[in-house]
Amino acid sequence: MKTAIITGGKMTKAYVVAKHLKQVNCRVIMVETNKYWMVASRFSSCVDRFVTVPIPEQDEIGYYTAIKQLAEEEKADLFIPVSSPIASI
C-alpha cells in the first residue's frame, strides 16, 4: 500500500484528491496549518491521519522540516501539494 501526503486540508480539492487516492488503496495523510486544525476533511474516512504544520509564510524552515519529518516517519511514496490561489504565489 502506498502512502500519500496531501497538503491544503481545508481545500475541497484536497479532499477530492484524498477520496480518489483512497479508492486506489492509498494510505492518506492530510496536512494543514494550525490555523485550520478543525477542517471537515480530517474526520473523513478517506483520511487516515491528519497533521498540522507551521504556516510556511511565517516559518518556512519549520514548515519544510515538518513536511520532511512527516514524509520520513510515514515512509511516504507521494507528496501532493494543494494550495489556495494566494498561497501558491
* Report field, pTM of the whole predicted structure over 0.95: no
Closest CA to 6 of 47, 39, 58: 47
Q: Given CA atoms 60, 54, 36, 17 in this order, what sign does their dihedral have?
A: positive
Residue 18: per-residue pLDDT: 97
Residue 27: per-residue pLDDT: 97
Question: What does the domain layout of the chain look like in residue ranges?
Answer: 3-83
Mean pLDDT by 10 residues, the chain (89 residues): 94 95 97 92 94 92 96 96 74
Task: Return the CATH architecture of domain 3-83.
Answer: 3-Layer(aba) Sandwich (3.40)
Instruction: Write down the H helix ranges in the chain.
Output: 12-23, 60-74, 85-88
- Cell 500519500 belongs to 4
